[in-house]
Amino acid sequence: MLTDGEGWTYSLIWLRSSYLARRVQEKYNERLLERERIARDLHDTLLQGFQGLILRMQAVANDLPSTFNARQRIEETLDSAEHTLLESRESITNLRTSVPKCDLPTALALTAGELARDFPTRFRVDVEGHRRKLHPLVRAEIEMLGREALTNAFKHAHAQKIAVEISYRPNEFRLRVIDDGVGMEQDVSSKEQIAGHFGLQGMRERAREMRASFTIHSKRGAGTEILVSCPATIAYGDQSAGIRSVIVNITRFFRP
């Protein structure tokens, strides 16, 4: 039997968890509306303007003689620009939908695979626990945070090995990115804001959006470890995972 103090403590924990879950859902709804507005603005301004520039450049290229040396390079540049335009359209389409094309481990593995084309680095993605559907807002933030961590590891750490560990735990969701690269100075990895290190600042901000903990362990010459831990009630978008035992204890406490 729990004491009065313990019973009220569990009750407060449950109420707090319920409140946080509602706040995350409200935040997610607000984010969807904002993403739709941004998608409209980008389509009506940036993409339309970019398409116009491509058409004008194509007209200039068509007026050049086929034997002109620079024409081939212009055509290649236009092909690259059209590819970028297609990718931009896909990104804007993704802003309008909350349904990802694949699960999180697959998405991060694809990101690492793309980066590995340009860097001689081995990587692996490990999954612990039963894969669960993440709350859409958490899913989006975790993927962007993971992509930033992978980009830093591939491009700046000069690592030989990079590991991504994704853990679906009953009481929390964890993302861990580890590399054996050059590492960072301790004061750089621990500061809240660092001039020129906007990637680290952005990752911390994304973690705060999810009410998740974010830690960096790094030492010059000893690699870097980035760990993100999000409570289950927020990560999975329901009350059943992280506080099931709390509810059981409350039930026991109030049982006659």
Q: Each residue of 164-179: pLDDT tens digit? A: 999 999 999 999 999 9
Average pLDDT over the chain reads 77
Tell me whether strands 172-179 and 161-168 are parallel, antiparallel or unpaired. Answer: antiparallel
Give the domain 104-235 fold: Heat Shock Protein 90 (3.30.565)
- Distance, in Å, from the CA atom of 130 to the CA atom of 108, rounded to the nearest integer, reads 17
Sheet containing 122-128, strands listed edge to edge, beginning at the edge strand earlier in sequence: 122-128, 161-168, 172-179, 224-231, 213-218
What pLDDT shows up at residue 117?
86
Residue type, 182: V
Band of the pLDDT at 21, cuts 50, 70, 90? Answer: low
What pLDDT shows up at residue 161?
93
> Residue 212 pLDDT more than 80?
yes
Q: Around 176, how many Cα atoms within 13 Å sit in the side-chain half-sphere?
A: 13
Q: Each residue of 77-107: pLDDT tens digit? A: 888 888 777 777 777 666 665 556 788 999 9
Q: Which residue has the higher pLDDT, 160 or 42?
A: 160
Q: Each residue of 182-211: pLDDT tens digit? A: 888 765 555 544 444 447 888 898 898 888
Residue 173's H or E segment, with its range, is strand 172-179
3-state secondary structure of 4: helix
- Distance, in Å, from the CA atom of 250 to the CA atom of 46, rounded to the nearest integer, reads 55
What pLDDT shows up at residue 42?
74
The alpha-carbon radius of gyration of the chain (Å, integer) is 24
Tell me whether strands 213-218 and 172-179 are parallel, antiparallel or unpaired. Answer: unpaired
Instruction: Rank 36-45, 75-84, 233-242 by mean pLDDT and report only the highest.
Output: 75-84
Quote the pTM value. Answer: 0.60
Domain boundaries, the chain: 1-98, 104-235
Greatest distance between any 2 Cα atoms in the chain: 94
Average pLDDT estimate for 12-22: 67
Tell me whether strands 161-168 and 213-218 are parallel, antiparallel or unpaired. Answer: unpaired
